[in-house]
């Protein structure tokens, strides 16, 4: 296991090439998010996804959430109606995950939907720009709490990732808000740090945006 600092701009820049190599080889990277550490692999590679399930002792049949650098990556994976896109454009990047119909099923999805978000973490988004979308399931054994430190994450997992991107102690707190957008009406699956049901005036927002 390799461990690299991942806090300031120089550290992030220096770590990107090695992280990209590990991901390309089908390896697992321990990544920071806004609140807790996660496990990142290429979500399209079955063998890499299976490594995450083993590390977490995660039951078969559960999907893995995916993080994206920007809307281009989101749109390549899922289909979102305009009414939800406008609202998400005001929220992302943020600790809010949405479940939406897949454009095509990938290894990280267990059904025809996929959970995606654009994270509010500059270093993680820099990695996503470099390598493409990645899984970001919490780095802990299934059933245990998410981990805001590298030490607690490594102690919880059943094995070690190939690479650790160490951003120090993270904020912790609640995990991302989870909203189901796979049907006409948005439905909150899990409450979290970001509110979905705030009043939203679409016409006013479009006029302000020019």
Ordered domains of the chain (ranges, CATH): 2-196 (3.90.870.10)
Average pLDDT, the chain: 93
CA dist., res. 99 & res. 186, Å (int): 10
Structure confidence by residue, pLDDT tens digits, 136-190: 999 999 999 999 999 999 999 999 999 999 999 999 999 999 999 998 789 999 9
DSSP 145: P
User: What does pTM read for this prediction?
Assistant: 0.92
Chain position carrying tokens 């479009």:
206
Structure confidence by residue, pLDDT tens digits, 71-88: 999 999 999 988 899 899
């Amino acid at each position: 296991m390799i461990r690299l600092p991942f806090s300031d701009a120089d550290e992030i820049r220096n770590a990107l090439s090695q992280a990209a190599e590990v991901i390309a080889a089908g390896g697992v990277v321990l990544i920071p998010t806004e609140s807790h550490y996660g496990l990142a692999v290429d979500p399209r590679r079955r063998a890499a996804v299976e490594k995450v399930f083993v590390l977490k002792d995660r039951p078969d049949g559960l999907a893995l959430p995916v993080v994206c650098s920007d809307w281009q990556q989101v749109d390549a994976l899922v289909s979102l109606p305009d009414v939800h896109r406008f609202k998400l454009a005001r929220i992302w990047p943020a600790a809010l995950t949405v479940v939406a119909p897949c454009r095509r099923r990938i290894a990280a999805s267990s059904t025809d939907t996929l959970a995606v978000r654009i994270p509010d973490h500059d270093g993680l988004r820099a990695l996503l720009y470099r390598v493409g979308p990645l899984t970001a399931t919490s780095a802990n054994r299934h059933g245990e709490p998410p981990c805001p430190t590298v030490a607690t994450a490594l102690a919880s997992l059943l094995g070690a990732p190939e690479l650790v991107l160490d951003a120090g102690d993270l904020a912790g707190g609640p995990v991302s808000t989870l909203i189901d957008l796979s049907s006409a009406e948005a439905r909150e699956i899990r409450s979290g740090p970001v509110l979905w049901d705030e009043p939203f005036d679409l016409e006013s927002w479009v006029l302000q945006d020019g």
